[in-house]
Amino acid sequence: MHCSTLTFSLSPGWAFIESEGWRVDLEAEWAQDAVQYDGDKKGRPGTDEDGWIYTTDAWAHPRAEARPGEGWVTRRRRWVRRVYWRDGEVGERASVVCAYLLIL
């Protein structure tokens, strides 16, 4: 599956920061609560250098290691882009809006 053009609508009053585009979220904090470790360790999932997290086919139990493995048959990553409230200054009230992309 490949999608080169996605369109997102923002709530009234919000706008994308025009000088910034979409970028891959390399931190993976969005998946940290569901990490699957080989023991009882808790923590954040690892991403590879391109921001991919490896998971089961149900997007459950992200791997702690940033590599595919037995039982981890899908990979996912999050794209983010900053937005701002049009009545405010771009630097003052900037927030992040996200989109998910699944590649099988």
Confidence at 76, pLDDT banded by 50, 70, 90: confident
**Inter-residue contact 41 to 63 (CB < 8 Å):** no
Q: What is the dihedral of CA 82, 100, 74, 54, to 10 degrees?
A: 30
**Among residues of the chain, what percentage have pLDDT more than 90?**
0
Confidence at 80, pLDDT banded by 50, 70, 90: confident
**Sign of torsion, CA 25 4 100 11?**
positive
Residue 101 CA to residue 2 CA, distance in Å, equals 9
Residues in the chain, how many? 104
30-59 tens-digit pLDDT: 555 555 444 444 455 667 778 787 877 776
How high is the pLDDT of residue 40? 43
